[in-house]
Structure 1
Amino acid sequence: MLTEHEIAQDLEDRERRIELLVRQLPARIQTAVHWLRRPQARWVRMPAGVFFILGGCLAILPVFGIWMLPLGVLLLSDDVPPLQRVTNKALAWVEAKRPHWMGLPRL
């Protein structure tokens, strides 16, 4: 069982990693992602996450792409605790193995 301190640290690490990824996006998209991640935007975030996942499954079509899957999962993970654990592990892996994806120097 995790202590309150460990849970708070995990949340801080998650937010830091997400912010590093968001900074890699174009400015207009950064604004949209920040707006979507606000607690009040849940009513938009959940359907957007589902649509991104469905769009990722249609990656064979020209407008859609596989890049939509992780974005959809990340959006849904703000509201679905089991997905939070998965995305936390994935974000930690990206930071450790592919830091340049987050704008960090390569090891």
Structure 2
Amino acid sequence: MDAPQKSGKQTLDEAFDQLEAQLPQRAARAVHWTRGSRARWVRLPLGILAICFAVFWFMPIVGLEWLPIGLLLIALDVPFMQRPVGLFILWLLEKWKRLRARYAG
């Protein structure tokens, strides 16, 4: 019998936990703060702004890396996005770990 599937919230929480573990301490604190209920009013505008930045990926300074950041911020408040975004971020983190391991050893 298959293991029970994680809910969208659980998947997103796991993605955030792994992301915080990979980030420097200062950035991890910022990510942790955005997950809190006090940051709710800031998440959606920041998420939309980050996705807008991703549209201009071809310009200097802004890049495509803003897309997952924006999706993460929006997914915290939009339940139907939690599972797909969580799985996407977990996939990106796995690719990042493999890339780091490849260049470290």
**TM-score by structure 1 length?**
0.73
Taking the aligned partners of 2:90 and 2:59, their CA distance within structure 1 comes to: 31
**Counterpart of 1:85?**
83
* 2:68 equivalent to 1:98: no
Taking the aligned partners of 1:29 and 1:91, their CA distance within structure 2 comes to: 16
1:1-107 superposed matches below 5 A: 11-94=9-92, 98=95, 100=97
Q: What is the root-mean-square deviation of aligned Cα atoms in Å?
A: 2.6
Identity of aligned residues (%): 33
Compute the displacement of 1:13 (Å): 4.0
Partner SS for 1:86: helix
Return the structure number with greater relative CO, CA threshold 8 A, min gap 6.
2
Compute the displacement of 1:77 (Å): 0.1
Taking the aligned partners of 1:68 and 1:53, their CA distance within structure 2 comes to: 6
Compute the displacement of 1:36 (Å): 1.0
Task: Identify if the C-alpha distance between structure 1 residues 91 and 60 changes in structure 2 by more than 3 Å, giving closer, same or farther.
Answer: closer
Partner SS for 1:42: helix
Segment drifting more, 28-37 vs 80-89: 80-89
**Gap runs ≥5 in structure 1:** none
**TM-score by structure 2 length?**
0.74
Partner SS for 2:22: coil
Number of residue pairs the alignment of both structures matches: 98
Partner SS for 1:98: helix
Segment drifting more, 65-74 vs 25-34: 25-34
